[in-house]
């Protein structure tokens, strides 16, 4: 389900429980032993890096969660019986948070957490992160831009929707080599990523690149109403910039949507 913005928003929700001792169970049982170890210890707060979520408990122990494609959190009343697919239920008072379908849910110490950070690139949502350290590599790299934007070890937090939308907003052909994109343009891409992700977090984690808080792409003169995206999942529909049907193809093993004319 998520790209980095939604994960950050979920972390913010978790943070409302910071400082409290939580009841942890695993209705599905796959996380039962781990949950028991942390049960009733004080939740210190949530951290994120890209799409990775870290729930910190006492003694620098972290529950590392990656939602992957199917994972999700459901916030509800404790009186609602959890589905039997729920990997982890956290309870505080009358409230419960259910986690199901994560690609990852494991307990890590500080060292384990550091290893995760080490394999992730800068995150547009993280305080102090910048694209600066990536520029030398980008300058030499033959990778297509459309692959780079999905690569979490380069930029952490963007996903398939933002990839398509950002490429469109810059009029970039997805197959353009990294080295063919000017440094100033990379910096603009980074800044736009920050703006889009932050605006989404503020909205509660729902992606909408066509919104009034996003800049208009050069080729688009009017904001499309109704739609939340310029090209994502709009295969065959007319481009908002030029009317050309939006194309769909596979790039970096994900479906990419783009306008062959505006992104020539």
- Could you list the active site residues? 2-3, 51, 254
Within 175-261, residue ranges assigned H as helices are: 183-203
Within the chain, residue ranges assigned H as helices are: 4-15, 32-38, 110-118, 135-140, 145-148, 160-169, 183-203
Question: Which of the stretches 32-40, 95-103, 190-198, 213-221 binds DNA when contact is defined by CB under 7 A?
Answer: 95-103
Which lies closer to DNA via its Cβ, residue 51 or residue 89? 51
Q: How far apart are CA 123 and CA 103, in angstroms?
A: 20
CB atoms within 10 A of CB 65: 27
211 binds DNA (CB under 7 A): no
Question: Which of the stretches 106-114, 189-197, 214-222, 251-259 binds DNA when contact is defined by CB under 7 A?
Answer: 251-259
Residue with tokens 């939308």: 165
Q: How far apart are CA 44 and CA 46, in angstroms?
A: 7
Residue with tokens 């982890």: 88
* Binding pattern for the stretch 29-68 against DNA, x by CB under 7 A and - elsewhere: ---------------------xx--------------x-x
Residues 215-234 interacting with DNA (rule: CB under 7 A):
233
Give the strand pairing for 86-92 and 23-25. Answer: antiparallel
Residues 139-198 interacting with DNA (rule: CB under 7 A):
150, 152, 159-161
Find the binder of DNA among 36, 69, 218, 242 (CB under 7 A): 69
Find the binder of DNA among 15, 21, 45, 72 (CB under 7 A): 72
Taking each helix axis from N to C terminus, what angle separates 4-15 and 183-203, rounded to the nearest 10 degrees? 40
Residues 15-34 interacting with DNA (rule: CB under 7 A):
28
CB of 3 to DNA, least distance (A): 4
CB atoms within 10 A of CB 122: 20
Q: How far apart are CA 94 and CA 262, in angstroms?
A: 52
76 binds DNA (CB under 7 A): no
Applying CB under 7 A, the residues found at the interface with DNA are 1-3, 6, 28, 50-51, 66, 68-70, 72, 83, 85, 87, 100-101, 103, 119, 150, 152, 159-161, 206-207, 233, 253-255
């Amino acid at each position: 389900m998520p790209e980095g913005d939604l994960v950050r928003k979920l972390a913010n929700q978790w943070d409302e429980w910071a400082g409290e001792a939580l009841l942890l169970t695993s209705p599905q049982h796959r996380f039962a032993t781990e949950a028991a170890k942390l049960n009733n210890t004080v939740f210190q707060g949530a951290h994120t890096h890209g799409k990775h979520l870290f729930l910190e408990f006492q003694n620098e122990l972290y529950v590392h969660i990656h939602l992957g494609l199917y994972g999700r959190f459901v916030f509800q009343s404790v009186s609602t019986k959890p589905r039997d697919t729920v990997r982890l239920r956290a309870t505080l008072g009358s409230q419960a948070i259910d986690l199901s379908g994560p690609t990852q849910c494991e307990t890590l110490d500080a060292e384990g957490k550091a290893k995760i950070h080490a394999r992730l690139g800068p995150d547009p949502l993280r305080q102090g992160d910048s694209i600066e350290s990536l520029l030398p590599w980008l300058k030499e790299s033959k990778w297509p831009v459309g692959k780079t934007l999905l690569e979490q070890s380069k930029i952490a937090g963007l996903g398939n929707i933002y990839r398509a939308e950002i490429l469109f907003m810059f009029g970039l052909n997805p197959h353009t080599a990294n080295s063919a994109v000017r440094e100033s343009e990379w910096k603009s891409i980074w800044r736009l990523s920050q703006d889009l992700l932050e605006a989404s977090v503020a909205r509660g984690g729902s992606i909408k690149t066509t919104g009034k808080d996003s800049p208009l792409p050069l080729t688009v003169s009017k904001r499309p109403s109704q739609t939340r995206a310029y090209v994502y999942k709009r295969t065959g529909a007319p481009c908002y910039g030029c009317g050309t049907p939006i194309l769909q193809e596979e790039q970096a093993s994900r479906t990419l949507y783009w306008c062959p004319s505006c992104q020539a």
